[in-house]
Structure 1
């Protein structure tokens, strides 16, 4: 690993990404177990790149700061320099960041997405042989969730219970819209849900383009439009509009059908009510390839899917805009395990694999995945998996990273 920018060059973006042989990539170590899993990720990525390209390519890592480490250094939880660096270099990766519950600083993960305009959260969920799972057939799960990042209740427009403006708003709702079940306005908080045509369409557009490029067969628009007709219902209608107007989708019995221009195969576009979707991905996950949905649904659904294949500890994620990409561990900071060299770095390592593919470095990504698959198959795992396996002693974070490197061929 080189934490320097002396040799490195910037990734460029015009109509598409252009990656030099020695790109500068910023990373945020993260809070809690970030200090354990981020060095493990850097080690694995560097080894994969070296295995794939020898000395012809290498990543020049540049540490940037957010969370507790940033606050200790600068007095700010999310310095502007960090935002500027990600915008400048276009690709970055981060460990988990602390998110207080019920007060304190705002969610740094949400703030990063909104400040950088990262409107897609892409979460591929697939099973790796050897990982303990509560499901009978976790191998049937291979689903990519496209979650809209910029809207929904995550926009953060809320009114505190008991405030004068909140009570006034509730009285207006009660009087003008015949909302009769506001019994105690003095003890009721209010949150605003925003869903726009622009954000809905650009998310579905990306999900459909992904389905075409990855030769998937089914895109499901997941919503609760039977109840929230003008927000989640509108998302569904706008999604179908994109399919018809931009991808020449044709109406069929169960939705719409797009012809993949790359192979002539049909891609089915349907919509599924959110609660029904939760049931169906448990009972028949093989029926789903790509899910496009809004912020809150996507948050719940991607974590629920991850539970089926072994947990969020092995589920990667990326936050994307048209120009910039921030890859991340999808789990929390797990402060009880911080500094003990015990945490599972798989989520962050697999997010780095997504990053390598985003950069067009598929050979290195293939090496990384090979090392991960063979390590898990050989039951060389961290303690969170080992305790669910008979006769397996868990590896430390750093030893697991070394096992992945050793299995790259």
Structure 2
């Protein structure tokens, strides 16, 4: 495929997907689209490339980067925020990474990030939360090292794909009339202005998300529970169905590899088999509490979209904040890595902000394509930098005796650590 504003590298090989085997074919020299994004993306993007290049080279690989555009950088080239050829390039080359995007007011998108995920059908937003060495000093909790969770957040449904009608419009009055007169629910809508919204949660979307979470736990050496997090006690036919459909996947598709929490206690007296994953469920507000009080009891969480947003940010706060919060979007044979944080435009171009979240998102990308050695080097390179208190301003201002580094300087320290480790 040819592109108008995207320069395809003259060297490198395309990552391909074998649909029959359900696996990627990843060469040692892949072409990888990278979208710097808006605001601080111009700082954290190049810093991330430096670190990922070093880890790849030290493990016998070579990344051939291909710049793609969305947000402000796309408006300059295409006069639109999300050009189709950016979506096409990420679809064609399968493995991508991006920085933060700002959705301008009146852009026609509820969120550029959400729009990109939906167009690529990246149905699982995967957000790990774990404690790096040295974070204990600045964490707001007593034992942040107990945090080691990975959240599988459904990416395409819930309120992010819902419909809203604005108070005072003809449309909202039509919906009100239908709900009150046709459906007979007049007691739930008070007189006066009202905004109304609906949210979809489907069996298809729920089950493929829960499968992804369970498969991850089965392949993991340290995660052996999957918790379905929902508000099904109140929203019985959306989030309650999420829970029920999740249990259906566990009980009907995995045999003895997966057991429910009820089975664990009723038939095994709480003794978990070494080769099985336990699936349980928790109400979302209770889970927020248990994330603090029983942190070490939870491994993999599977959540509807909004719950996943809230809980992943809360988990990240326990282990350093959004500057250290990585993420990646998984689809069928494709991945788009992206940090959790936003674009922070007031810091754009200052070579100041923390690039760790995007760097560790690159680590997730490496894991996804089977470059475990490179992923391990990225994590340990970051670990050593933070443990040595060689950090950017956001961490430096909270710790004693650290060395404050610019974004580019920090990336160089991490890259140097990787070279020493290899």
* 2:59 match: secondary structure: helix
Query: Following the alignment from structure 2 to structure 1, what is the Cα–Cα distance between the partners of residues 265 and 116?
Result: 35
- 1:93 pairs, out of 94, 97, 106, with 97
Matched, 1:129 2:129: no
1:217 corresponds to 2:227: no
Q: Residues 257 and 121 from structure 1, CA distance in 2 versus in 1: closer, same or farther, beyond 3 angstroms?
A: farther
Per the TM alignment, residue 18 of structure 1 is displaced from its structure 2 partner at its CA by 0.6
Q: Does 1:351 align with 2:361?
A: yes
Distance in 1, matches of 2:32 and 2:99, equals: 14
- Separation in 2, partners of 1:344, 1:50: 23
The residue number in structure 2 matching 1:79 is 83
Which one of 385, 389, 409 corresponds to residue 399 of structure 1?
A: 409
In the alignment, what sits opposite 1:198?
204
Quote the offset at 1:177 in angstroms. Answer: 2.9
Task: Report how far residue 351 of structure 1 moved.
Answer: 0.4
Q: Which of 184, 201, 220 in structure 1 is aligned with 2:191?
A: 184
Distance 2:149 2:205 in 1: 22
Distance 1:145 1:255 in 2: 23
TM-score (norm 1): 0.94
Distance apart, 1:312 and its partner CA: 1.3
8 Å CA contact retained: 1:29, 1:38: yes
The residue number in structure 2 matching 1:331 is: 341
What RMSD, in angstroms, separates the aligned Cα atoms of the two structures? 1.9
> How many angstroms does 1:258 deviate by?
12
Change (3 A) 1:182 1:37: same
* Count of matched residue positions in the alignment of Structure 1 and Structure 2: 400
Q: Which runs of 5+ in 2 are unaligned?
A: 1-6
* Alignment partner, residue 311 of structure 2: 301
Mark the CA change 1:255 to 1:295 in structure 2 (over 3 Å): closer, same or farther: farther
Alignment partners' CA distance in 2, 1:109 and 1:231: 24
Select between 97-106 and 272-281 the one with higher mean Cα deviation.
97-106
In 1, the alpha carbon distance for the partners of 2:323 and 2:62 equals: 27
Q: Is the 8 Å Cα contact of residues 327 and 340 (structure 2) preserved in structure 1?
A: yes
1:119 aligns with 2:123: yes
Residue in structure 1 matched with residue 234 of structure 2 by the alignment: 227
Matched, 1:5 2:17: no
Cα-to-partner distance string for 1:98-132 (whole Å, 9 max, x where unaligned) = 03479864310000011110110001110101122
1:250 Cα deviation (Å)? 4.4
In the TM superposition, 1:249-328 aligns within 5 A as: 249-250=258-259, 253=262, 264-328=274-338
In structure 2, C-alpha distance between the alignment counterparts of 1:339 and 1:326, rounded to whole Å: 24
CA distance in 2, matches of 1:46, 1:178: 58
Contact kept in structure 2, 1:257 and 1:268, CA below 8 Å: no
Using structure 2 for the length normalisation, give the TM-score.
0.91
In the TM superposition, what whole-angstrom CA distance separates every residue of 1:225-260 from its partner, at most 9, and x where no partner exists? 00010000011000000001001244553779999x
1:238 alignment partner, SS class = helix
Structure 1: gaps spanning 5 or more residues: none
**Which among 138, 142, 147 is matched to residue 141 of structure 1?**
147
Check conservation: 2:124, 2:331, Cα contact below 8 A. yes
Deviations 1:350-378 (A, max 9, x none): 00011111111112112211211110100
Give the match for residue 169 of structure 2: 163
* Equivalent residue, structure 2, for 1:51: 58
8 Å contact 1:11–1:23 — kept in the other structure?
yes
1:152 aligns with 2:158: yes
